[in-house]
Amino acid sequence: MRIKAIVLMSVLCVVSAMVLTASAQEKAVMPSQCLPFGGTIYGWHNGDSWYGIGDFAFGKKILHATVEDPNTGFEDKGDIWLGTEEATFTFGSGEKVTLMTDFVTEHQTDAAGTQGVYHVNETGSFARGTGRFRHAWGRFNLQGPFGWGVSLPSKITPGPNDGFFWIGQYNGTICGLQGNFQ
């Protein structure tokens, strides 16, 4: 009788575990595989931040974003500036992702520097996502011109600015997205 009770209890435990596991699996949202990320930002500087807009591809899905990109660290090395930024991409409907960025600019001695056109190189990772970006991770790079000699396309209307503009091309890989990005 005692062995039957132990076997019965064991079977009940296994069945309960299976039911709980199946229930949890139904509720779990499986993140997508890694996808290519890219797009062009058209930006302007005002005060301590860069601001911008652009259309960005996540796999085959294109999303429009507004961007706020404050400097979080800065070091002037003469002909080179080094620093960090946290660019928050807002897509609407409560969806955001922050790009944690390290940058280096080469300027003062650039041939185009006397004309107000400098070059920025950035690299970084995705963090602090919300909505479908909640579990986002991956890496990206950006390159492009910035400065008072950079002109934005006529269809881009910048917000308040101090005369510095920026056009940058992002590319990278983003993983952990939820929902349909195919």
For 140-150, what is each residue's pLDDT tens digit?
A: 999 999 998 89
Neighbours of 41 (CB within 10 A): 23
Largest CA distance in the chain: 94
> 129 or 24, which is more confident?
129
Cα Rg of the chain (Å, integer): 24
Convert 56-95 into a string of H (helix), E (strand) and C (coil): EEECCEEEEEEEEEEEEEEEECCCEEEEEEEEEEEEECCE
Residue 66, token pair as written in the block: 């507004």
Arithmetic mean of pLDDT over the chain? 85
Q: How sure is the predictor about 79, in pLDDT bands with cuts at 50, 70 and 90?
A: confident
Q: At residue 178, what are phi and psi to the nearest 5 degrees?
A: -110, 150
pTM: 0.80
Burial of 181 (0-12, 13-18, 19+ CB in 10 A): middle
Query: What pLDDT was estimated at residue 78?
Result: 81
CATH of 35-175 among 1.10.10, 2.40.160, 1.10.260, 3.40.50: 2.40.160
Burial of 15 (0-12, 13-18, 19+ CB in 10 A): exposed
Q: Return the SS3 of 156.
A: coil
